[in-house]
Structure 1
Amino acid sequence: MERLRQQAEALLTDALRQITAYPELHRLQAGLKQALADLDGPMRVAIVGKLKAGKSTLMNAFLGEQKVPTGATEMTFNVNWFRYAETPEITVVFKNGQQTVCNFEELQDLTIRNSNKGDFIRNIKHINVGYPNELLRKFHLIDTPGLDSFYEVDAKNTLDFLGIGSDEIEKWTMSAAGDADAIVYLFSRTLSEYDLSVLRRFHGGVSQMNATNSIGVLTRVDDYFPQEQDAIGKARDIIDSTANEQAVLKKLFYTIKPICGILALGAQTMTREDFALLKRIAAFPAEILDRSVWRKGKEAFITRSFDTLPDFPVKEERARLAGKLGMYGIKLACDKIREGVDYEGVKKYLFEESGVEHLRQILISHFGNRSFIIKLSKSLRDLQKICFMARQGVSGKASEHVEDVEAKIASLIAKRHEFRELQVLRLYYEQALPFNEQEVRWILAVTGEWGGSIFQRLDMPEGAAFEELQKQAEQRMNYFQKKARTSFFMNRQAQDAASTIADSFALLLQHLKQINSF
């Protein structure tokens, strides 16, 4: 991958030098500069979804702190871009290109609509938030306004940021700075027609959304409680049925996972005082709590009197717990306390049950293992679009230079094996490749879906004998070479995919032979 990075850097640097003397190509120059800056930067992951899908709650759960404002009303007004920084910092980027630095404590006032800084906020393009969180070393996380916001400008801000706004062609001429490399799409309860219409636009639009760079998330699963005692299990059933009914989802998402953001955040911020309150509730028999507390719902839990239950927490204490954990979280915590689990154990259990840690690991493994190639692919294809638009407005030497830059980009994409592998993965997730279960397993392994070690890429146990690794690599290379040559009933793209995977095993075999030569 380092060799590819060097080639890309050389290409972009040379292209920028080539067009510097042409001011009419300023947008292409900006795109090249941004692509260069992005080579070594973290992957950019946008959290996207409808109003009240739980985007800000998930952001807080990822960060482990209440940093993004949430509430019963529409809160997020601008695109908020979270990056790693040693000390908390905020930079506001305005639509006219100007910037200003603000105190971190001002984030909520800058973000929510009912702020007293209305005119100031309306001129904001996005907010850069620097924060010392380890996940932000790997990814830039972008919190976005609801796609179906009551306020049209909010939805437009999000769609424009993702490159699928109404003025798509103009967006092609802009730098890749405002586009995400990957998307986490949130929906609650079920996918609405609006969700599906947005996803179709993603799939066919300039955002390049597909299963290699997109994950679906069913949020707010605690809403299924108390009608469903196993809220997470119910969510998994809904995901299965939804995926079966909507074939487009299998083409768009690498996976769809259920999460409970409020439970994840509550688990991470739970205090010992909160735990003491939970213990007082858990002291009552499970059947009494089920009949008199859980089934009554959140509002009754907070507001009603529990005079028949001595030492039951008072209203203010119950409101604090419900706001922090939700009713489902309180019930799960009480069940564990009744089993004798201590404070740290309950926190760990609730966080695991929330699904957020599993989602975070998927981000790291699926995106992280190939973040560079996904980022570079996105940058180069964005540059191709900028080149296309640039050629429409220039002539002479400037046009020739643009064509040359465009040809070099196309050549790099065509020649580098990493881009061919990424295309195979995309076709697989779009269910466009007629391979059997064993072939698919080999394909996913060798392309790094389960990790980058030799053992993982050959789907073999750690410590397998070197001779066996070499034997398997050679056998699978020969297998896919033969499949590419003799599978008359496969279409051209399936044959090309088989040839690409044969080359993947050939490169792996070459690497093994080099190791053996030492």
Structure 2
Amino acid sequence: MTGASGHDVHARMRWSLHALCDAVDRFGGPPARPITAEVRRTLDEKIRVAVVGRVKAGKSTLVNALIGKRVAPTSERECTKITTHYRFGSPERGELVLRDGKRLELPLDGGSLPEDLPVDVTEVAHAVIWLQVDSLEDIILIDTPGLATTTTENEETTRRALLGHDGARQADALLYVFHNVPYLDDVSFLQEWATVTDKPGESAASAIGILSHADQVGGSPWGDDDPIELAKKQATGIAKLHGAQLGTVIPVAGLMAASAATGLIRERDARTLAKLADVDDFDLELRDPNDTDAEFAGVSGTEVQNLVGLVGEYGLRYGRSVASEGSRAVSEWLRERSGIETLERSLRERYIARSHFVKARSSLNTLERLAWSWGAPPKLKELVSEARLREEFHPLRELDALERLAAVAPHHELVQLLDLQLSARDDAERIGVPGASPDAVSKAALMRVAQARRAMLVTSAPIVQHACRTLERSFTIIARRNQQQ
């Protein structure tokens, strides 16, 4: 391989962050050490993504769909008042982390927290549940109490965990769940989230909006318009309106997604749904949900309501077309139509695949907040400011430019070029000449420098200019690095 490999880039960044923590410890003294210790610890962790939103927005249903197991409580139980971290691990087990640092073993109830906790919820910092499920191998998923709740303590728990009120932010990125549109307090929380990030636009890069209940947009799935198609248009409009806070907005039908992901659709359900294929939509729309004696093509009213509990009214109307192919076909259809596949792909591309860079950016931001906090020695500001200018942290500028540009112009040619800088195996691939010698890579990089400068002159869009400026430095670094070989 030519030049710096992906592993080399990550290793240099980690080494520099550890060295920066050591320097911060020397000048910051005892007040800094708990924060630098947390930075060191989280650098070795998987990326942490928190699911946030108002009460009843559909957060826990979304968590269950992403994990593929019914573990997050969807009823108003005591454990909905605490933040819960879902992690990969065996044996499956639970633990309470208390505010005073103590840890208590917690027996699980079918993989979920028990209904009652052994201590008062005000004593709990968060809970941790280890599950042996593939979906958690590359991510830590954090379920949070609802915002905009009448219980002040519940909302404060979420703010303390995510906004760093205890001195360290628990999440690297957010999935912000809202029903129909973000309300003023939703936007307010996202703006607070922006205050714990580093640059304008970075809060949007680290937050995905989830338009929940996508199967109910427009009021009813029995009308002329497909609610999920309406939800897609609505999500696009919300993304444009709130682009400063949300990098993208994805419509998701949570119930449909959770039923498919958690294996609730059985062959018996598929057969029952298939029997309804020729029933007139009008008859199903106007049925009385409480009429258990009703019958539709041999299917009782009770059975119809059971299906609605699994797939919603939307699944009842549109899912009949695939039900004759069996439960697997129904589940696959539910996954695709619910939007959960789009969300999973976005999580992989935005966060998991770039987790080394996202973690490094989060760590650098944490150290910068410490450096600019009241009473911090001036030397800390100098240390962090100098670190941001180092070559080994330039990939964070590439990530910033990529996310800003992708948010407004996802198909722009520079998006692919910026992504290549972060994902390529070596410098030859980054510059588009795989297998070339160091000398050839250096010459090709200098040509790219000239192209980036010309592109900067012919565009008036600030975000594109920022991307060009970032790539100019990327290619300059590659050229210099390969001249030295």
Shorter-normalised TM-score: what interval?
A: 0.7 to 0.9
Q: Report what 1:261 is aligned to.
A: 254
Q: 2:106 aligns with which of 96, 102, 105?
A: 102
Partner letter of residue 221 of structure 2? P
For the pair 1:210 / 2:203, whether they are aligned, the reply is yes
For the pair 1:420 / 2:397, whether they are aligned, the reply is yes
The within-5 A match list for 1:344-493 is 344-389=328-373, 391-392=375-376, 399=377, 403=379, 406-416=381-391, 417-425=394-402, 427-428=404-405, 440-448=412-420, 452=424, 475-484=447-456
The 2-side partners of 1:4 and 1:28 are apart by: 27
Query: Secondary structure of 1:210's partner?
Result: helix
The within-5 A match list for 1:61-80 is 61-71=65-75, 76-80=80-84
Q: How many angstroms does 1:356 deviate by?
A: 0.7
TM-score (structure 1 length as normaliser):
0.78
Query: Secondary structure of 1:211's partner?
Result: helix
Q: 2:296 aligns with which of 298, 303, 309?
A: 309
Contact 1:366 / 1:449 at 8 angstroms: preserved in 2? no
Contact 1:445 / 1:457 at 8 angstroms: preserved in 2? no
Partner letter of residue 280 of structure 1? T
Q: How many angstroms does 1:304 deviate by?
A: 1.3
Q: Which blocks of at least 5 consecutive residues in structure 1 are unaligned?
A: 165-170, 393-398
Structure with bigger helix share is 1
For the pair 1:48 / 2:38, whether they are aligned, the reply is no
The 2-side partners of 1:424 and 1:333 are apart by: 41
Partner letter of residue 285 of structure 2? W
Q: How many angstroms does 1:305 deviate by?
A: 3.5
Post-superposition Cα deviations, 1:90-125, rounded to whole Å, max 9, x if no partner, equal 110112221101112287555xxxx55585223211
Contact 2:178 / 2:211 at 8 angstroms: preserved in 1? yes
Contact 1:447 / 1:504 at 8 angstroms: preserved in 2? no
Q: Which blocks of at least 5 consecutive residues in structure 2 are unaligned?
A: 1-5
Rate the CA distance shift 1:32–1:347 in 2: closer, same or farther, 3 A.
same
The 2-side partners of 1:347 and 1:67 are apart by: 19
Q: Report what 1:222 is aligned to.
A: 215
Post-superposition Cα deviations, 1:310-359, rounded to whole Å, max 9, x if no partner, equal 531352x444332222222233331212xx42332222121111111221
Query: Secondary structure of 1:104's partner?
Result: coil
The 2-side partners of 1:391 and 1:447 are apart by: 39
**What percent of counterpart residues are identical?**
21
Q: Report what 2:133 is aligned to.
A: 133
Contact 2:405 / 2:467 at 8 angstroms: preserved in 1? no
The 2-side partners of 1:512 and 1:348 are apart by: 48
Contact 1:258 / 1:355 at 8 angstroms: preserved in 2? yes
Contact 1:487 / 1:495 at 8 angstroms: preserved in 2? no
Partner letter of residue 71 of structure 2? K
Partner letter of residue 63 of structure 1? I
Q: How many angstroms does 1:151 deviate by?
A: 0.6
Rate the CA distance shift 1:290–1:213 in 2: closer, same or farther, 3 A.
same
Q: How many angstroms does 1:257 deviate by?
A: 0.9
Q: How many angstroms does 1:258 deviate by?
A: 0.7
The 2-side partners of 1:385 and 1:14 are apart by: 17
Post-superposition Cα deviations, 1:134-169, rounded to whole Å, max 9, x if no partner, equal 2322111111111111211111111121217xxxxx
Q: How many angstroms does 1:242 deviate by?
A: 3.1
Q: Report what 2:154 is aligned to.
A: 154
State the superposition RMSD in angstroms: 3.8
The 1-side partners of 2:431 and 2:57 are apart by: 37
Partner letter of residue 282 of structure 1? A
Partner letter of residue 473 of structure 2? D
Partner letter of residue 477 of structure 1? V
TM-score (structure 2 length as normaliser):
0.83
